[in-house]
């Protein structure tokens, strides 16, 4: 699986770097912003998931090339707009899109700091808009990979349903949660948000791969539906693990430990803690949210409450259960290289520490 992932990442990277869509974008700094996140790399899990699902549906994974690049660019536009909304400063170790633009524009047009920030956010909105269009354009270019027009039309319709409508609804719910007191947010609401925000795009990737592989444009076809269901559950597992590592991970984990607490991020582990903890720990936990700064002792206190309340164990159990459910689903599909990689991917999701 790891070798396959690396190979797919290389192909996607090359396609994104050479695709002609961004070339006509003006001004130059907007074009550079559009290309920025997509070429920063990342694990390329979504393209790989699409290729493996194609293989699992007896297709040639090479036929997913443009569609896989599309899902990756799609993922990136949502990150650009999310980062504006969340006022994030860094992404994959470099300034976020709006911060990079703010610095560039501030220098180019001799703007004061406030005007530069504003201009950076304004152009980052447009950069994300262009990336959304770029994703659709890449999907349309799937015909160059031998994908039939009815399948391309089905992929596009599915993208608007899952990747746009559901995913953006999920992002909106996540933003709404940040406006509500943490103890009014139910576990069911957080689960729904996670499915929409993380699961829907993985499901789109999986269903697209299955449609391309099988040549059947119906997303309800049994194999396609099974792989879509697998991807939804895998997305839930991925996010639960991500949120768990956001508290219990090593400091080398992608984001600073405690940043979820600072943002008051709605996570299952937090919702479980608030539900399970005794009254005094519950009050302490609520007091640990949305502070300006966190000491190591604060993080340790949050960990203690999450462990003692049973929330940490319940999340780990849930991840294990999801892994089992995913494995059971995958065992119902035809045996072969595609299934083998998906099974390895499933193990990776449950076990990853970074």
The residue written with tokens 């009254």 in the block is 279
Which stretch, 131-139, 241-249, 272-280, 317-325, contacts a copy of itself (CB under 8 A)?
A: 131-139
Nearer of residues 59 and 170 to a copy of itself, judged by Cβ? 170
Query: Cα(249)–Cα(274) distance, rounded to whole angstroms?
Result: 20
Tell me which of 134, 195, 238, 345 binds a copy of itself, using CB under 8 A: 134
Q: How far is the CB of 299 from a copy of itself (least distance, A)?
A: 27
Residues 254-283 that bind a copy of itself (CB under 8 A): none
Question: What is the longest distance spanned by two Cα atoms in the chain?
Answer: 62
- Phi-psi sector, 93: left (phi>0), alpha (psi -120 to 50), beta: left
Q: What is the DSSP letter of 91?
A: E
- Using the minimum distance from each CB to a copy of itself, give the nearer residue, 123 or 345: 123
- Give the span between the Cα atoms of 97 and 37, in whole angstroms: 7
Among 15, 63, 190, 196, binds a copy of itself (CB under 8 A): 196
Is residue 105 at the binding interface for a copy of itself, with CB under 8 A as the rule? Answer: yes
Q: What is the SS3 assignment for 350?
A: helix
Q: Is 179 among the residues that bind a copy of itself (CB under 8 A)?
A: yes
Rounded Cα distance between 145 and 149, Å, is 11
Contact between 85 and a copy of itself per CB under 8 A: yes
Sign of CA dihedral 325, 214, 341, 353: negative
Would you say 43 or 160 has its CB closer to a copy of itself?
160
Write the DSSP string, 218-243.
Answer: -TTSHHHHHHHHHHHHHHHHHHHHHH
Distance from C-alpha of 320 to C-alpha of 180, rounded to nearest angstrom: 30
Which is closer to a copy of itself, CB of 37 or CB of 244? 37
Stretch 317-346: interaction string toward a copy of itself, x if CB under 8 A: ------------------------------
Look at residues 89, 87, 82, 100 and name the one whose alpha carbon lies nearest to residue 36: 100
Q: Which of 2, 92, 107, 109 binds a copy of itself (CB under 8 A)?
A: 109
137 binds a copy of itself (CB under 8 A): yes
Q: How far apart are CA 173 and CA 348, in angstroms?
A: 28
List interacting residues with a copy of itself (CB under 8 A). 21, 24-27, 30, 81, 84-85, 105, 109, 111, 115, 119, 122-123, 125-126, 128-130, 132-134, 136-137, 140, 143, 149-150, 152-153, 156-157, 159-160, 164-166, 168-169, 171-173, 175-176, 179-180, 196
């Amino acid at each position: 699986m790891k070798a396959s992932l690396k190979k797919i990442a290389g192909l996607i990277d090359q396609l994104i770097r050479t695709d002609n869509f961004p070339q006509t974008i003006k001004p130059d700094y907007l074009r550079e912003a559009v290309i920025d996140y997509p070429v920063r790399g990342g694990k390329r899990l979504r393209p790989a998931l699409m290729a493996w699902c194609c293989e699992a549906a007896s297709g040639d994974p090479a036929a997913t090339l443009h569609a896989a690049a599309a899902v990756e660019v799609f993922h990136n536009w949502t990150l650009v707009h999310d980062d504006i909304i969340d006022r994030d400063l860094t992404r994959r170790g470099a300034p976020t899109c709006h911060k990079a633009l703010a610095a560039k524009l501030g220098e180019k047009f001799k703007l004061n700091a406030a005007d530069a920030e504003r201009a950076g956010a304004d152009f980052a909105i447009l950069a994300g808009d262009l990336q959304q269009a770029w994703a659709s354009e890449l999907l349309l270019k799937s015909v160059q990979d031998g994908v039939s027009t009815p399948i391309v039309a089905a992929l596009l319709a599915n993208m608007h349903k899952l990747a746009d409508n559901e995913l953006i609804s999920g992002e909106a719910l996540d933003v709404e949660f940040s406006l509500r007191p943490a103890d009014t947010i139910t576990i069911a609401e957080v689960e729904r948000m996670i499915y929409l925000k993380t699961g829907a795009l993985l499901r789109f990737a999986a269903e697209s791969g299955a449609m391309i592989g099988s040549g059947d444009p119906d997303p309800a076809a049994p194999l396609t539906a099974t792989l879509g269901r697998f991807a939804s559950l895998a997305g839930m597992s991925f996010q639960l693990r991500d949120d768990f590592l956001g508290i219990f991970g090593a400091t080398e984990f992608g984001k600073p430990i405690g940043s979820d607490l600072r943002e008051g991020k709605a996570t299952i582990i937090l919702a479980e803690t608030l539900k399970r903890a005794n009254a005094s720990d519950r009050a302490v936990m609520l007091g640990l949210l949305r502070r300006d700064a966190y000491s190591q002792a604060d993080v340790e206190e949050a960990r203690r409450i999450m462990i003692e309340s049973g929330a940490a164990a319940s999340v780990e159990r849930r991840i294990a259960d999801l892994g089992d459910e995913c494995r059971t689903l995958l065992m119902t599909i035809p045996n072969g290289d595609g299934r083998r990689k998906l099974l390895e991917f499933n193990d990776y999701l449950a076990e990853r520490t970074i």
